[in-house]
Chain A
Amino acid sequence: MRADINEIKETVKAFVNKRFLKNAEGKELNYSTPLISGGIIDSILAMQLVVFLEQTYRFEFQAHEVDKDNLDNIDIIAGFVVKKLNA
């Protein structure tokens, strides 16, 4: 499956906004907003994001990939998704 990186960013942004920031006050999401280190996503919510990415882009996460290195902001997530799709 091929996907445009900007498209991925928009899709993920929409998901994060809807799922994790629906009622959050004053939190504006951009591509570099820290999600894990900024406290928007924790271990449980990270798994929701993982399931969403797996289902949307049809690839499988490995346990060690659920990490700040791959999920900390939308830019990083999009880069990771592209890497997985190209693997």
Chain B
Amino acid sequence: MRLIDKYFPLISVTSENREALFNIDRLRFFSLALAQFILILFIVTRYNFEKSSGIIDYAPYVILVFAIYSFIAIRFRPAFLFLACVALVYAAFGILAGSFFILIGLGLILICHLPIKYTYRFVLILAIAFLLALFRTEFIYIPWMTMTAMYMAPLFMFRLIIYLYEIKNGVVPANKWQSISYFFMFPNVFFLFFPIIDYKTYIKTHLDSPEKEIWQKGIRWMLRGLIHIMCYRLICFHFLIGPVEVIDLPTMLQYMVVNYSLIIRLSGVFHFMIGLVCMFGFNLPQIFDNYFTATSFVDLWRRINIYWRNFVLKIFFYPTMFRYKKILKKNLLAFTMMTVFFITWIMHSYQLFWITGVVSVRSIDVIFWMVIGACITTNSVIVEKYTLAEDRVEKPQSEFKKYFMKIIRMMGMFLFMSIMWSLWNTRTLEDWLFIVSKGKQVDSKQLLLIFSVVIGIIGLGILVQMMLKNVKLKQLINRKPHETILLTLSTLTLLTLFSFKEIRSNIPLSVQHLYDQISDGSANKLEKTNAEAGYYDKLIEGEEGNTIGIGGRSLKKMVKKNPYTNAYIYQNNIVNRRMKPNLNIVGSDHNFQSNSFGIRDKEYSIKKPLGTKRLALLGGSYQMGSGVNNNEVFEAIAEERMNKELVDTNYKAFEIFNFAAGGYYLLQHVEIVHTSVFQYDMDALVYFAHTDERGKVVKDFTTIIKKELPLKYPFLQQIVKESGIKSYMSILQIRELLTPYADTIMKWGYKEIYEQCKKNNVVPVWAYMETTTEFVDDAEYNELKAYAESLGFVTLDLRNTYGNIDRVEIQISDLNTHPNVLGHRLIAERFYKELKLKRDSIFRIVE
């Protein structure tokens, strides 16, 4: 026995046919697969696909695992895959959390096989799940355990259900390593939101076809996934509109159709994941089947997320039907289907909970699932009756009529799903009804346009169906992945070349821009700013405080609780929340202290020391320094520098009081100016404005109205009266009614701040600062600046503060885009320069 066989059985191929593993033919196909796989991961990196997944960071590791895996003995492969996953977990989470992750996981699998009654095993697992849920909701907070629950639960949430079901029904696991590798599925660590892979399918499809075919299938699906994601980005870039932009029937239709089209991102990500699993020899079946071309509800149910449907059928549909069969004489199918759709809704909430930690029970979800369920049920009952009819005869139809009817049905289904999808992904039912109400506004030109588009689609649909009748074309489309290697390879090469600026510069500018559009990872920014992210967006990319893969830069921040959770006292006035005084919160990556005045700043005396100049700073979370330590906030840095470099006989010291807090906008500042600022004997006050100042005023006022906070200012009461807004209206409707008053409200706010400053002999300063996610609107800046100056504000220009630095470099994380330490340093530098430049106007004017 060779040493390698004796001591390293995992990589030994003694028991395998060594010649089979290393024969020239296999090596040739492996090299081809490897080359394509490298290109795929290179494209993922070059086009910034799903950064949070971490697949970009670990791409070389994935390739290495694939290469080794492909040449070790088949019987050792499941164990190797598990070890590859373990190494990844340790690399990402560290020893403590990583060990807990692995041990809890192994423990759960072990419980499934304990020699005790099935019911006891089930109860034990439920108890552990309950415990993990307490961590997931942060009800119990032990940092590394919370993080473990967050990342481990998605791996087990469905697979445990399937596994227990199989064990209950007598399916004996093939071997322990296969079971372990099923739970610790290697690619799942990258994508926590993962397709539900069936246990039996996972086991049975392993190397059930020649490896070269499975590899090529994996490559094709990963490429298809990338193309879907590119399409998603293009749709976002060119067609996506927010709910506030819906003004008439065409925009309403655009909003709905585009909303549904964005499901292409889900199919893209899922194709990529399944393709990745295929690379390890699992010949998994198709997950989506041209769902946009569904011609009926049942057809859609068959085509969309096939893995989910199979899971529901296996675990819920058949068991429910067999149970009902014993008690129901009639309408068995209808009752079963409706029960199953009710469970489907629950399972979607269950999934959302384990991935994001959010317990969501929305009326919209109930409506969505019940309407979809009722439609599929009705359709199923019709199908059942039709097949049961003994004397059914289909009327002969002309080919043209068949094509016509098919495209009409497709369009009907697409429109129906677009309507339902827009409902599901809109914040509230009131908002959705408001959007729908816009559909009444349409003129004859728009109707003609819609009619023309419909006719065009019908014509195109008929033409495509006629073309698909061509046998040769059909064969070409249906060619198996290993028969189209050349096409796949050339597509990958083209995409790779296209990602290089030097090569792109030789092609027309319009095509060059395509790269910017498909490589921009923040393509759904508009969607985020205008509407609540849809169900699948929440799962794919997470929300603030969550990260959906080991690549999320928020990962390490999970270790400790958000320091701001208990930092505020809530009040029934416009400000709504005020910072608690004397806070000292220790967070994972930054600390948070407030002084005895209840502001995030160091301690100052109430009475101003002689010769000191005081500046009050009004702002939101940017100015408060969300995500960084107190001494790293730009205000603190600028103050320190001023006290080092700007003091002279006229200015003995400077004190900047930071009144900023998260969620404060203009209206809150008006209230603070009226109630808090001037008791500290200020010399100047700086108000920070951001991009889209009017839009922010409208959003903030809407929140105040929805929360029914009392409006003490007659001006604001008058606006409410004039605009006709009511707190029960939808957010979108309130915003629309307030928008015409945005300018008036903003100007009133500026004037109020100015008047109060004048009354208290304080110099008003207006500063304009760019955020890390928005680009400066120079026209808006000039306009606002001119208005502020006309009132008597001294103005500071903090535009283009970050220079040419990539915005990612100055953001806290991909989910928390507030400035990081570097960002604050840059802002401080600029703020200091501006203050220095205008020092005499700011501090001397009142002397």
Contacts and interface: CB of A to CB of B under 8 A. Distances in A.
A48 B302 CA distance: 17
- What 9 pairs between A and B have smallest CB-CB spacing? A64-B169, A63-B318, A63-B319, A63-B322, A23-B394, A66-B318, A43-B313, A44-B380, A44-B384
A64 B383 CA distance: 23
B606 to A, nearest CB: 74
A61 B333 contact: no
A64 B387 contact: no
A42 interface: yes
Contact of B298 (A22, A44, A64, A66): A44
Interface string B381-410: 001100110001010000000000000000
Contact of A48 (B169, B318, B388): B388
Nearest to A19: B387
Nearest to B165: A64
A47 interface: yes
Nearest to A64: B169
Contact of A43 (B169, B200, B317, B392): B317
A20 B384 CA distance: 11
Interface string A56-76: 000001111011010000000
Given A61-B322, A64-B318, A48 B384 contact: yes
Given A23-B394, A64-B169, A44 B318 contact: no
Interface of A: 19-20, 22-23, 42-45, 47-48, 61-64, 66-67, 69
Q: Which of A19, A42, A61, A64 counts the most chain B CB atoms within 10 A?
A: A64
B325 to A, nearest CB: 9
A69 B205 CA distance: 13
A63 B388 contact: no
B321 interface: yes
Interface in B491-540: none
A47 B321 contact: yes
Contacts of B298: 42, 44
B392 A44 contact: no
A62 B388 contact: no
A47 B392 contact: no
Is chain A's binding surface mostly helix, strand, loop or mixed?
A: helix
Contacts of B380: 44
Contacts of A62: 169, 322
A20 B165 contact: no
Contacts of B322: 61-63
Interface string B291-334: 00000001000100000010001100111011000000000010
Contacts of A69: 200
Contacts of A23: 392, 394
Contacts of B309: 43
Contacts of A20: 387
Nearest to B316: A63
12 contacts: A19-B387, A19-B388, A43-B309, A44-B380, A48-B387, A48-B388, A63-B318, A63-B322, A64-B314, A64-B319, A66-B318, A69-B200
Given A20-B387, A45-B387, A47-B321, 6 more contacts: A23-B394, A42-B298, A43-B309, A44-B380, A62-B322, A66-B318
A61 B322 CA distance: 9
A49 to B, nearest CB: 10
Nearest to B204: A69
A54 to B, nearest CB: 10
Nearest to A22: B392
Given A63-B319, A64-B165, A44 B383 contact: yes
B163 to A, nearest CB: 13
A86 B392 CA distance: 37
Nearest to A44: B380
Nearest to B320: A63
Contacts of A63: 318-319, 321-322
Contacts of B302: 42
Contacts of A64: 165, 169, 314, 318-319
B167 to A, nearest CB: 11
A43 B322 CA distance: 13
B331 to A, nearest CB: 13
Contacts of A48: 384, 387-388
Contacts of B317: 43
A47 B313 contact: no
A44 B333 contact: yes
Contacts of A42: 298, 302
Q: Which of B165, B298, B319, B387 counts the most chain A CB atoms within 10 A?
A: B387
A44 B322 CA distance: 13
Contacts of A19: 387-388
B218 to A, nearest CB: 20
A66 B314 CA distance: 8
Interface in B418-437: none
Nearest to B166: A64
B609 to A, nearest CB: 79
Contacts of A22: 392
B333 A47 contact: yes
Nearest to B168: A64
Interface in B43-66: none
Interface in B319-359: 319, 321-322, 333
A58 B19 CA distance: 52
Interface string B665-704: 0000000000000000000000000000000000000000
Contacts of B384: 44, 48
Nearest to A69: B200
A43 B317 CA distance: 9
A23 B392 CA distance: 9
A22 B389 CA distance: 11
Nearest to A61: B322
Contacts of B387: 19-20, 45, 48
Nearest to B170: A64
Contacts of B392: 22-23
Nearest to A54: B325
Contacts of B314: 64, 67
Contacts of B388: 19, 48
A11 to B, nearest CB: 17
A84 B555 CA distance: 53
A61 B387 CA distance: 21
B239 to A, nearest CB: 33
Contacts of A47: 321, 333
A42 B384 CA distance: 11
A67 B310 CA distance: 10
Contacts of B319: 63-64
Contacts of B318: 63-64, 66
A8 B298 CA distance: 30
A44 B169 CA distance: 22
Contacts of A44: 298, 333, 380, 383-384
A73 to B, nearest CB: 16
A57 B827 CA distance: 81
A19 B309 CA distance: 24
Nearest to B388: A48
A9 to B, nearest CB: 21
B360 to A, nearest CB: 28
Contacts of B333: 44, 47
Nearest to B200: A69
B432 to A, nearest CB: 31
Nearest to A66: B318
Contacts of B165: 64
A62 B321 CA distance: 11
